[in-house]
Chains A and B, each alone.
Chain A
């Protein structure tokens, strides 16, 4: 055993102690490596000039154009959260299903799928579902087990259903690791893995999960559930019929937004950052129209803005508006004038919505929260790059590679080991830390083993999601615990998610057996064969 591995062991142990002590994780994963490196340098076992590269790494994070999407998607999620769109959706869905218990369960699942597709902020989704739907679910006679488990599980869907922040960060890391891996085995022009590929790959597995959850609800209610008395209280207030108007005004905007954001990325038209900008613009409009102070005039303006946006899409995609400002002469056609008018209306609608939200103090609150969440995410990204610098300085990357190659069961053994490590780390760390610490270390080794990079990425995302759900340390359970009534015992919450953890594992098994579920769509869209 070399002296470096002793220092590495010391690093890992003290790191774990520091993280578990409850100090800010960002300080732990950046400060402890520095301390250990200084000690080692005192013995002449570490070359401090390694650190000279650190500022360049920070600058590299600061001008990574892919990451611009992160604060934008955070802003989008926070705004949607604050505009109570999800609440309204849930209430209408519940009425639509006539307040029947299993109907309520399905509506929780559908609404969280939509929310997951549009925001991907897990903590907030679970808190919201727990506050709004748990009382209703329990009142309607659904078993506690099913309700609690379903809320926790469907709240974590945001990680896997695109566009999700996890997949953007994962895409950044996987593509770096993949290029490094391919170069190591002599392929100097590998096809790059894009975030769009990951989004495309995640759609079918995400929907598969939703389907499996729904199947579980169905089976549970039909065969397992103790027959509940539906009458309690709810039958008395006969639900009002859901009008088409309500459905259109509450469901249509978020769905259109999801389609436009996702569609733009998947079709390969827009970069994630551009799509995120579209998402923020759309969310500003939705939030403004849903805010309590929305005046009739504002609503009209927003509607005009939305119609202009779709008019613009039609005009531009069918080539009616032949606009090319880069050419010198511009012929004044009807399409051109129309496009200019519509883009002005759209811009006005966005600006006035933002102004309204600013007056109503929604905007400044959302911005503060966006800034604080981005600060948290980027602090971890920067701190993790410090940790991996020191880890590599001690030769840790070679050690990990050797360990993985020594494992029995060729490439599957290595993959299983990596997945297990990620799963265990998921108990104590947030996904950002895991992605930025583990992937740079094991990614190049695993990806040199002839796995499809998109498939690996989706498996990692699923694995992280499962780990967040698994008792006793799953993050989702902590969030849920913070809003669940005291009458719901913690041990019951733990028991309630076990079926869902099994479903997750089943889903991962299905993806191992049928990798095409992941790889088919990206190949169809981009024609990439890895």
Chain B
């Protein structure tokens, strides 16, 4: 259990760090793209690919981060009236019967794609683009594994999420 705690908090902080770096890269590469294009009339395919790759990795990894913060949207029309016990029961049900099947199936279905992408070290679709698309694609099975790790943590920890999420930020986080 202790060990599992450690793994889960490492996953959460690791994902947070990685996503932060990806977001910084995304923002600054997009700003540079705009400045280069409109001021200097040049564009670099590799720069576009950097922005696209960091976006792809960011949005898929951020799903794990949101799950760890318990920030995925819920419909709380009835949730407010439920007891803590039944709330946890529902979350456990969701993890057992929705999260596990979804991500194990994703892992299963995406596997051939990933093997293929690695076998040719798949790069950008554009000629002259950036190499390393296979790494970006590998984020999907990685996310599947991480989600199952975080899901198991919530299951084992009696329905508590790795990062406490106070209500205030939950209201702010919703669009």
List chain A positions with a Cβ less than 8 A from chain B.
Answer: 18-28, 30-32, 34-35, 38, 51-52, 54-56, 58-59, 61-63, 65, 67-68, 71-72, 74-75, 81, 120-124, 127, 165, 269-270, 273-274, 276-278, 280-281, 312, 316, 321, 323-326, 339, 343, 346-347, 350, 364, 367-380, 382, 386, 428-432, 473, 475, 478-479, 482
Contacts and interface: CB of A to CB of B under 8 A. Distances in A.
Given A323-B39, A343-B39, A276 B30 contact: yes
A74 B16 CA distance: 17
* Residue picked from A28, A55, A346, most chain B C-beta under 10 Å: A55
Interface string B82-103: 1000010011011101110110
A27 B72 contact: yes
B140 interface: yes
B1 interface: no
Nearest to B141: A55
Contacts of A19: 75
B161 to A, nearest CB: 11
A375 B74 contact: no
B102 A378 contact: no
B68 to A, nearest CB: 9
- The 3 A-B pairs at the shortest CB distance, nearest first, are namely A31-B98, A375-B66, A22-B79
Contact of A367 (B23, B136, B171): B23
Main DSSP-derived SS at the A contact region: helix
B39 A27 contact: no
Contact of A123 (B42, B75, B109, B171): B171
Nearest to A483: B171
- How many chain B residues sit at the interface, stated as a range, is 35 or more
B98 A32 contact: yes
Nearest to B72: A24
A372 B175 contact: no
Contacts of A63: 52, 56
* Residue picked from B34, B52, B136, most chain A C-beta under 10 Å: B34
B73 A22 contact: no
Contacts of B113: 55-56, 59
* Residue picked from B37, B63, B69, B93, most chain A C-beta under 10 Å: B63
Nearest to A158: B175
Contacts of A62: 55-56, 59-60, 136, 140
Contacts, number: 239
A270 B33 CA distance: 11
Contacts of B35: 343, 346-347
Nearest to B110: A55
Contacts of B152: none
A274 B33 contact: yes
Contacts of B136: 62
18 contacts: A22-B76, A22-B82, A27-B95, A27-B99, A30-B102, A31-B101, A55-B109, A63-B52, A68-B30, A122-B175, A123-B174, A270-B38, A278-B34, A280-B27, A339-B39, A368-B20, A371-B20, A482-B171
A52 B94 CA distance: 23
A278 B71 CA distance: 28
A102 B137 CA distance: 56
A346 B97 CA distance: 52
Contacts of B19: 367, 371
Interface of B: 16, 19-20, 23-24, 26-27, 30-31, 33-35, 37-42, 51-52, 55-56, 58-60, 62-67, 69, 71-79, 82, 87, 90-91, 93-95, 97-99, 101-102, 105-106, 109-110, 113, 136-137, 140, 167, 169, 171-175
B65 A375 contact: yes
Contacts of B173: 123, 369, 372-373, 376
Given A59-B137, A63-B52, A278-B34, A376 B109 contact: no
Given A68-B52, A68-B55, A326-B41, A375 B109 contact: no
Contact of A31 (B26, B66, B97, B110): B97
Contacts of A81: 172
Given A34-B105, A376-B72, A71 B59 contact: yes
A157 B39 CA distance: 34
Contact of B39 (A280, A316, A378, A428): A316
A35 B96 CA distance: 11
A280 B82 contact: no
Given A71-B58, A81-B172, 10 more contacts: A19-B75, A28-B98, A273-B30, A277-B34, A323-B41, A339-B39, A343-B35, A375-B66, A375-B71, A379-B63
A389 B47 CA distance: 34
Contact of A58 (B71, B73, B140): B140
A142 B79 CA distance: 34
B67 to A, nearest CB: 7
B171 to A, nearest CB: 5
B40 to A, nearest CB: 5
A307 B16 CA distance: 36
Contacts of B167: 482
A28 B98 CA distance: 7
Contacts of A326: 41-42
A276 B55 CA distance: 14
Contacts of A24: 67, 72-74, 94
A352 B134 CA distance: 35
A197 to B, nearest CB: 21
